Amino acid sequence: MHETPPDPRPAPAASARRSGGGSCLAALAAGVIGGLIGAVVTAAVLAVIWQPFSDTDADTPTGTATQTPQPGVTIDVPDADLSYAEAVAVKAMPSVVSVAIKQSVYDPFTGGTTTQVVGNGSGVIIRADGYIITNDHVVAGADAISVTIGVDTLPATVVGRDPSSDLAVLKVDRTGLPAIEIGSSADLRVGQPVVAIGSPFGLDQSLTTGVVSALGRTSYMESAEAQLTAYTSLIQTDAAINPGNSGGALTDAEARLIGINTLIRTGSEYVAQSAGVGFAIPVDYAISVADDLIETGRAEHPYLGVSSMTISEQTAAWYELPVDAGVLVDSVASGSPAERAGVQAGDIIVRIGDGQVASVEDMFLAIRSHQIGDDVKLGIVRGEETLTLDVTLGSDGAR
């Protein structure tokens, strides 16, 4: 689901950065938005990291995208005594690309406009006919984008962006590319070896190793467009992830894509660098969003249909509310799942499914952790009554 918050403000840039070329974002404290839980990633500073730099690089027009899937390049690992990291490097590295972000800038010497490379990120080839998945924050604000595949640098177009999941798909006019083998994030185990591949600090084709440190991490941030981005069921890893790694690949020991590298945790809000705690968007979710973007140019998410605000002890006392934590429903969208379930303005949502709801962010993450069409129980406080309402989540694409 994706509810629209009334006038959320961009947070200070130092609070959070992503790991590719894009905007600096901050962790959202509390706000007004309609419903979306998971165990929120806590402590230090969560950062969506990116790598800015300056260089002059002229644009070239993109070609016409080829929509028919083409045979890809199959990379066989030689029958040799290789470590798993060496084998992954051989098989998966050709599928991971460097993404250069360009912006138009005023040239005071000529009085004209030039295009400069202002940052870099990473991407992963997921279809042989030129489709590349990356993070949305990598491409946000770009006037032009180029992608380096092997020794070739090609112009790329944006097929679709989904700021609420921090995913985007690019397209280059090239066929027969080495698309990565898609794995699964459904059966990952803590402790299993993983490899992170990307372009940290602009150093393309860089590989680091580690393990799955934890599963099911969840967080949220405010995007450059003042939308709430939900990171649900993140994969945590100690494989080094640094600025420029955003949008790159997290693979298993068989070189299968299991996640898209996206976040790091850093001990300082001013220094975005690896602290051995990085996070990747699970591949099962990432590919489903990418497929939607390729097919329709947009992604759909579970939708409840309320405008709401977080209840604090102060607001509870001020308005003499019966609870001091939860989400106060300000309005209910006409025809929405919430309206059909009987949710009313003035209701206080305190539980979704088996999870407590103490804030708008809790609700946002709770809804986003489900699927469109899921039946969910809402715990509601209405006056002096405590109710349980059954709601079938809709699609934000149907609004």
Catalytic (active site) residue 291: no
For the stretch 65-71, contacts whose Cβ atoms lie closer than 8 Å and that sit 24 or more positions apart, written own/partner, are 65/130, 65/157, 65/159, 65/171, 65/173, 66/129, 66/130, 66/173, 66/175, 67/129, 68/129, 69/127, 69/128, 69/129, 70/128, 70/129, 70/175, 70/176, 71/128, 71/176
Q: Looking at this protein, which amino acid is placed at residue 225?
A: E
Q: Is 166 labeled as catalytic in the residue annotation?
A: yes
Residue 233's contacts (CB-CB under 8 Å, 6 or more residues apart) are 38, 185, 215, 216, 217, 218, 282, 285, 369
Beta strands 152-162; 131-134: pairing state: unpaired
From the list 166, 204, 238, 362, the catalytic residue is: 166
With CA atoms as reference, report the closest residue to 29 among 219, 280, 164, 269: 219
Query: If you count them, how many residues does the chain have?
Result: 399
Checking 200-204 for CB contacts under 8 A at 24+ apart, the result is 200/51, 200/240, 200/241, 200/242, 200/243, 200/244, 200/245, 201/51, 201/242, 201/243, 201/244, 202/51, 202/53, 202/98, 202/120, 202/244, 203/244, 204/97, 204/98, 204/122, 204/148
Q: Is 244 left (phi over 0), alpha (psi -120 to 50) or beta?
A: left
Which residue in the list 15, 19, 122, 137 is annotated as catalytic? 137
- Residue among 160, 224, 176, 189 nearest 20 (CA): 224
Catalytic residue among 98, 246, 274, 359: 246
Any idea which residues carry the catalytic annotation?
A: 137, 166, 246
